[in-house]
A = this chain, B = another copy of it.
Amino acid sequence: MKFRRSERLIDMTNYLLDHPRQLVPLTFFAERYSSAKSSISEDLAIVKETFEQRGIGTLQTVPGAAGGVKFFVKVSMDEAKPFVEDLCDLIADPERLLPGGYLYMTDILGDPRIVQNAGRIIASAYADTKIDVVMTIATKGIPLAYAVASQLNVPVVMVRRDSKVTEGPTVSINYVSGSAKRIQTMVLSKRSIKQDANVLIVDDFMKAGGTVIGMISMLEEFNAHLAGIAVLVEAEKTEDRLVDDYLSLVKLSDVDVKDKKINVHEGNYFIK
């Protein structure tokens, strides 16, 4: 059965979106659609052009006999900006204020549309970085970590606060939570990260960065490498920040409990 170009383009688009950062040989598509490689090349040129024009991502062509195409998500600054501005407005809602100046963010972190877009934006920043694993800590960062990982085509590992029987042997470390200066424990399954893996740490919120420092110590226990740190929201408290090199989409600069004012603006993603 032969496929028309229109059908090929639709199916290719779906296939590529579903297989980011994965080399798809031209022969794969040629066989899938019983079409000549020359037609497939033309199709891919159209897909690439449209993906780039519409800000969906880009296709990288790998030449040669073992060649093919790779799809990378690539959200442009022009598209990331309005998304993050809307996110800031959402976060600035005084209804979010909780006792102690904490913010209720659970609804935002549970919204697949928001989390997926944030994941795409973060993944775009690491398009050229070698990443083998995304690491996060339970619980609230998991959806975002998972959204980033699915665009980077790598697994997620979840650090826990407590050990569970279903994790098998674990590595446990103590760390100092930055803001409260309390000693806490985190635990990671020994099977979850291979030696020399390049690890991107993703979390929903970073205050002083104590938890992130903990995760970095954990990486050292696994002889793994830190490839980057990305958070959805950072609390701007530079005096006691423990981490320098990280990416944030949103910056929370001031929470005024008395006047119910939350001061939020775009994160360092836009100034890098």
Q: Show the binding face of A for B, using Cβ within 8 Å.
A: 5-7, 9-11, 13-14, 17-18, 46-47, 49-51, 53-54, 56, 98-100, 102-107, 110-113, 115-116, 138-140, 142-143, 146-147, 149-150, 153-158, 160, 165-168, 189, 191-192
The one of B105, B139, B166 that contacts A138, using a Cβ cutoff of 8 Å: B139
Query: How far apart are the CA atoms of A160 and B18 in the complex, in Å?
Result: 31
Contact B116 A50 (CB under 8 A): no
Q: List 16 A-B contacts (CB under 8 A).
A: A6-B9, A9-B10, A10-B10, A10-B47, A10-B51, A98-B165, A98-B166, A102-B165, A104-B167, A104-B189, A106-B158, A106-B192, A107-B192, A110-B149, A139-B158, A139-B160
Query: How far apart are the CA atoms of A138 and B99 in the complex, in Å?
Result: 24
User: DSSP class of A's interface residues: helix, strand, loop or mixed?
Assistant: helix
A226 to chain B, nearest CB (A): 19
Contact A6 B7 (CB under 8 A): no
* A166 with B56, Cβ < 8 A, contacts A6-B46, A110-B192 known: no
> Interface centre among A11, A17, A49, by most B CB within 10 Å?
A11
The one of B11, B47, B146, B168 that contacts A112, using a Cβ cutoff of 8 Å: B146
